[in-house]
Amino acid sequence: MTTTIRIGIIGAGMAGQAHAFGYRNASMARDLGDIDVQLHTIADPNLELAQSVAHRYGFANAVADIEAFLANPEIDAVSVALPNHLHAEVLPKVIASGKHLFAEKPIGRTREEAGRLADLAEACTAVTGVGFSFRRLPGLAALAQAVQNGAVGKVHTVRAWYNADYAVDPSGALSWRYSQEQSGGGALLDIGAHAIDAAQFVVGPVSRVLNSTLRTVITERPKPAAGAIGHGGATTEERGPVTNDDVALLTVEFDGGAVGQITLSRIASGVPNSLGVEAFGSNGHAVFDSISAGEFHLFESGVASAAFNGPRRIFTGPEHPYFNDVAAMPGAGVGTGYAEAFVAEIQEFLRCVRDGSPMDTNFKTAVSMMSVVGAALEAAESNTPVDVDSRQHA
Ligand SMILES: NC(=O)c1ccc[n+]([C@@H]2O[C@H](COP(=O)([O-])OP(=O)(O)OC[C@H]3O[C@@H](n4cnc5c(N)ncnc54)[C@H](O)[C@@H]3O)[C@@H](O)[C@H]2O)c1
């Protein structure tokens, strides 16, 4: 029996386009052969952008009116990729519509906002997933499995990072990302969401933020011209203040007893986009860096004589999670990257819609990440350690 799933996307910016790419390629997974994915509508108040994205990614329609979009019974499943301050307004409407929902991270600007949205998601029967896309990189997913299976022993020290350079140019537009009010956090949340989630994915929940330092290095920027999206966009003569962090440095403690450092920067000159996790344990270590997304490194002490034992560089392939569903060719080393992570997360969402099962990255996962962000903001403000509210963890 074929399940038809008619897709709509709200928000045609950088992330909305990545979702469109994911839906367009999702049915390449063999186990999704019984799904008919219909690319129905792109919705964005910027109609010209919606039309261009619909055309480029093969969606049948483009609309500017989000309310009319939500009332359309022809749409079964919806991705939401709007600026963070609109999530609290739009996500409840999608939930109320009864349509399946795949929301971009973060689902709110604060842990309280995210918590309220998670309560709504809990009470509905549709699938409510959240896009923690880095988890779908085969190398990171395989590393998480290895650590959880005890390959490195008991983890005691963790390093996680997200370094990016999208904000390094002071003449870059002052988009919603640079407003604490509209975003909920600078590097700490925009990219920190992924690094914190990745650390928790590999090692388990963070229980305490011991120390948190936030810095705004570029304190003002030119305001964006209408229609600017993503990290680029034209600017105006007028300037405005940056009200959130360019750099965030956290020291944390995990439930399992490990300590860790999480380094986040959106002004890491010369490092365009690198998320990584390194875990040291009683029996070895494991490390992944998205800049070389097709591989990870593992050291297990005692597997060979001391003279020949060292970290192994493992190239991802058909044996690793997600690889077979997204790789262009079925052989290790052909490489997968961030584009394929979006395909894999959308495939997972569609499987859940077909099967009526909950998604592994959901509103609770998002609240768990936001709880760490909330504790980090509090720790930076008070200059004291702050416990992560354990009730907020999934
Ligand atoms: N998973 C990832 O790797 C990833 C990457 C980028 C962004 N994101 C997330 O996706 C969401 C969207 O981010 P983005 O980079 O696509 O943003 P963006 O600025 O590129 O696009 C936002 C879109 O929302 C539309 N929009 C609707 N109402 C608006 C309003 N009132 N103000 C401004 N824009 C409005 C804009 O027209 C634009 O098309 C964010 O929550 C972000 O955290 C996730």
pLDDT greater than 90 at residue 393: no
Residue 106 Cα to ligand 1 midpoint, Å, equals 11
Question: What residue ranges define each of the domains in the chain, with the CATH number in brackets?
Answer: 3-132 (3.40.50.720), 135-330+370-381 (3.30.360.10)
Residue closest via CA to ligand 1's atom 19 equals 229
Q: What is the pLDDT of residues 188-203, one digit of tens each?
A: 999 999 999 999 999 9
- Cβ–ligand 1 distance for 104 under 6 Å, the answer yes
Expressed in angstroms and rounded, the spacing between residue 18 Cα and the centre of ligand 1 is 11
Q: Please, which pLDDT band fits residue 309 given cuts at 50, 70 and 90?
A: very high
Q: Which residues are CB-contacts of 188 (< 8 A; sequence separation ≥ 6)?
A: 214, 244, 245, 248, 264, 373, 376, 377
Given the CA of residue 84, which atom of ligand 1 is nearest to it? 41
Q: Which atom of ligand 1 is the closest one to the Cα of 175?
A: 19
Inter-residue contact 84 to 265 (CB < 8 Å): no
- What 8-state DSSP symbol labels residue 106? P
Q: Higher confidence at residue 394 or residue 67?
A: 67
Closest CA to 47 of 35, 63, 58, 61: 63
For residue 68, give both structure tokens: 């009319």
User: How far does residue 82's CA lie from ligand 1's centre (Å)?
Assistant: 4
Sign of torsion, CA 52 55 57 61? positive
Average pLDDT over residues 81-100: 98
Ligand 1 centroid to residue 104 C-alpha, Å: 9
Contact 338 CB / ligand 1 (< 6 Å): no
Ranking 224-233, 269-278, 368-377 by mean pLDDT, the lowest is 224-233
Kind of pairing, strands 235-241 and 220-224? Answer: antiparallel
The pLDDT of residue 394 is 44
CA 292 / ligand 1 centre spacing (Å): 26
Ligand 1 proximity of 110 Cβ (cutoff 6 Å): no
- Residue 323 CA, ligand 1 centroid: distance in Å: 28
User: How confident is the model over 341-367, as a mean pLDDT?
Assistant: 98
Compute, in angstroms, the gap from residue 380 CA to the centroid of ligand 1.
27
Work out the mean pLDDT of the chain and round it to a whole number.
96
| 391 pLDDT more than 90 | no
pLDDT, average across residues 198-222: 98
Taking the C-alpha atoms of residue 219 and residue 221, their distance in angstroms, rounded to an integer, is 7
15 lines ligand 1 (CB under 6 A): yes
pLDDT tens, position by position, 314-324: 999 999 999 99
Q: How confident is the model at residue 390 (pLDDT cuts 50, 70, 90)?
A: low
- Integer Cα distance of 145 and 151 in angstroms: 9
Please work out, in degrees rounded to the nearest 5, the angle formed at the alpha carbon of residue 276 by the alpha carbons of 273 and 281. Answer: 170
Tell how far the Cα of 86 is from the centroid of ligand 1, in angstroms: 9
- Asked if 21 and 339 count as a contact pair (C-beta separation under 8 A), the reply is yes
> What residues contact residue 392 under an 8 Å CB cut-off, 6+ apart?
111, 115, 367, 368, 370, 371
pLDDT of 80 above 60: yes
Task: For 340, list phi and psi in degrees, rounded to 5.
Answer: -65, -25
Instruction: State whether the beta carbon of 108 lies less than 6 angstroms from ligand 1.
Output: no
Q: Which segments within 301-388 are labelled E, that is strand?
A: 312-315, 386-387
Nearest to 79 by CA among 44, 125, 122, 32: 44
Return d(Cα 253, Cα 265) in angstroms, integer: 21
Q: Which two structure tokens, joined as six digits, stand for 169?
A: 């140019």
Residues 6+ apart with CB under 8 A from 89: none
pLDDT tens readout for residues 119-173: 999 999 999 999 999 999 999 999 999 999 999 999 999 999 999 999 999 999 9
Q: Does 229 sit in the ligand 1 pocket, CB within 6 Å?
A: yes
Q: Does residue 99's CB lie within 6 angstroms of at least one atom of ligand 1?
A: no
130 CB under 6 A from ligand 1?
A: no
